[in-house]
């Protein structure tokens, strides 16, 4: 997996891209959420740069022969932890968490891969991003799903 500088827009975008692709596909409602929220702009990237990070992530998965849509319990935890520690700025973590939650709920359904990835992020980054997400309008039911996933891991 390629590396990005610590707390860089690219490292943050890769976490959002991981969530975006964690269910195995990107649906039109998720694409609309990306555009509506200007996720690329919020992370300091041009839209084509975010698309390139998603493409690079897919290529890295393909080269590594990694499962593209990890199900709960099948995430490569050491690799994910390595990617997550590239972001240690608390404000950037909160922003990435809000963006991930927005993408995850965009299609009205949380897939197993999305729940597993969110649970892993909460596990590494702690509960503070989850609380910030609630304050910013994330439906409480989303967090209950995280709690169920976290209690089984």
Q: Three-class SS of residue 106?
A: coil
Helix intervals (H) in 22-46: 28-36, 39-42
Domain locations along the chain: 9-151
Per-residue confidence (pLDDT) for residue 114, from 0 to 100:
86
Strand runs (DSSP E) across 5-124, as ranges?
A: none
Per-residue confidence (pLDDT) for residue 94, from 0 to 100:
92
The closest of 117, 114, 122, 56 to 93, measured between CA atoms, is 122
Spatial distance between the Cα atoms of 68 and 23, rounded to a whole number of angstroms: 8
pTM for the model stands at 0.75
From 6-15, 25-34, 84-93, the region with the lowest mean pLDDT: 25-34
Structure tokens at 90: 């608390």
């Amino acid at each position: 997996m390629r590396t990005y500088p610590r707390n860089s827009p690219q490292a943050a975008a890769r976490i959002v891209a991981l969530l975006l692709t964690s269910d195995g596909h990107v649906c039109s409602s998720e694409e609309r959420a990306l555009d509506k929220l200007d996720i690329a702009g919020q992370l300091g990237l041009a839209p084509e740069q975010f698309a390139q990070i998603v493409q690079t992530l897919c290529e890295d998965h393909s080269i590594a022969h990694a499962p593209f849509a990890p199900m709960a319990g099948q995430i490569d935890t050491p690799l994910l932890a390595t990617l997550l520690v590239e972001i240690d700025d608390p404000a950037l973590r909160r922003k990435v968490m809000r963006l991930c939650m927005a993408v995850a709920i965009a299609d009205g359904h949380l897939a197993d891969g999305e729940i597993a990835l969110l649970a892993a992020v909460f596990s590494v980054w702690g509960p503070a991003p989850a609380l910030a997400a609630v304050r910013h309008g994330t439906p409480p039911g989303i967090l209950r799903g995280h709690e169920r996933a976290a209690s089984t891991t």
